[in-house]
A and B are shown apart, each in its own frame.
Chain A
Amino acid sequence: MPEPHDSTRRQFLSLAGGVAVLGAVPIVTLRPAEATPATLATAIRNVVGEAAVQTGKVRLEVPPLVENGNTVPMTVSVANPMTANDYVKSIHVFNEKNPQPNVGNFYLGPRAGRAQVSTRIRLADSQKIVAIARLSDDSFWSVSVDVVVTLAACTEEVI
Chain B
Amino acid sequence: MAAALINVPAKAKRGDIIEIKTLMSHIMETGYRHLASGEVVPRDIITSFSCRFDGAEIFRADLYPAIAANPFITFFTTATESGKFEFAWIGDNGFSETASASITVE
Contact = CB atoms under 8 A, between A and B. Distances in A.
Contacts of B80: 111
Interface string A118-159: 111111000000000000000000000000000001111111
Contacts of B32: 32, 99, 154-155
Contacts of A121: 66-68
A112 B73 CA distance: 14
A108 B76 CA distance: 9
Interface residues of A, number: 39
Contacts of B67: 103-104, 119-122
A17 interface: no
B90 interface: no
Interface of B: 17-18, 30, 32-36, 38, 41, 57-69, 71-78, 80
28 contacts: A26-B38, A70-B68, A71-B68, A98-B65, A99-B30, A99-B32, A100-B66, A102-B66, A103-B64, A103-B67, A105-B61, A105-B62, A107-B61, A108-B59, A111-B58, A112-B58, A112-B76, A113-B76, A113-B77, A113-B78, A116-B75, A118-B72, A119-B68, A119-B73, A154-B32, A154-B33, A157-B36, A158-B33
Interface of A: 26, 29-30, 32, 70-72, 95, 98-100, 102-109, 111-123, 153-159
